Amino acid sequence: MAGPEPPGAPRGRRGEGLDPSAPVVKPPQYGRYVVLLAVAILIGITVNTITTKPNGSGGVAAGESVPPFAVPLASGNLKGDANVSTTGKAPACTVRGPRILNICQLYERGPVVLALFVDAGGCADVLSDLQSLSPSYPKVQVAAVAIRGDRSSVRGLLSSHGISFPVGIDDQGDLAALYKLATCPQVTFVERGGAAQGRALLGRPSQATLRSRLAQLEATAKGSG
């Protein structure tokens, strides 16, 4: 008569031992799926960082001075992060040159329309809208900045859209927080001297809306001589 089985011993059916030939069931392997999920979450966070409204706001408030910045032009070969400094040895407004887009240099000349965008999807279509309308408003300057853009990709995009106005690249996305980027694209209207004229347009505006805001800036420029 067999004695009692020791505690914790594997048990089979009564009168039978464990079958050593039975297949071993391995635990499910989730490692690859965990990695894929982590990558998907990271991509989502990056997109959300660019396009989500910071602190519930959307653009520089009307009447406030737009933050100064200097970034490399996409058309050139100058590399480097955006300069957004207002103090120190080289504040942003003083950093100028043929390969640099400097917002201060633009608004010193006259009113400016500034479009912030990412070079993916239909976000950059607003550039074509501005390109087609800008000849009707010669006193208004147009510029754009690609947020965290790849230079070769941005150049291809500008070529395909026939863009002739200056477009810079902000590698680190510093302008997203500085200009309270709420949607892609975001279009800011800047009066001569640097004050934001009205609220920024969030998302791709209609041609009629763009035309109306450009006309307002043109009228302001004529009024100031």
Cβ–Cβ contacts within 10 Å for residue 94, how many?
Answer: 15
pTM above 0.85, yes or no: no
Residue range 123-176, pLDDT digits in tens = 999 999 999 999 999 999 999 999 998 999 999 999 999 999 999 999 999 999
E strand segments, the chain: 70-72, 100-102, 112-117, 141-147, 167-170, 186-190, 201-202
pLDDT at 131: 97
Judged by average pLDDT, the poorest of 35-39, 84-88, 97-101, 124-128 is 35-39
- Please give the average per-residue pLDDT across 184-205, as a whole number: 96
**For residue 166, which of 109, 210, 88, 223 has the smallest C-alpha distance?**
109
Per-residue model confidence as pLDDT tens digits over 42-84: 334 344 444 444 434 689 999 999 999 999 999 999 999 999 9
Domain ranges of the chain: 54-223
Among the CATH numbers 3.40.30.10, 3.40.50.720, 3.30.200.190, 3.10.105.10, which is that of 54-223? 3.40.30.10
Sign of torsion over alpha carbons 13, 18, 23, 24: positive
Specify the 3-state DSSP secondary structure of 8: coil
Instruction: Please choose, from the candidates 209, 114, 120, the residue with its C-alpha nearest in 3D space to the C-alpha of residue 156.
Output: 120
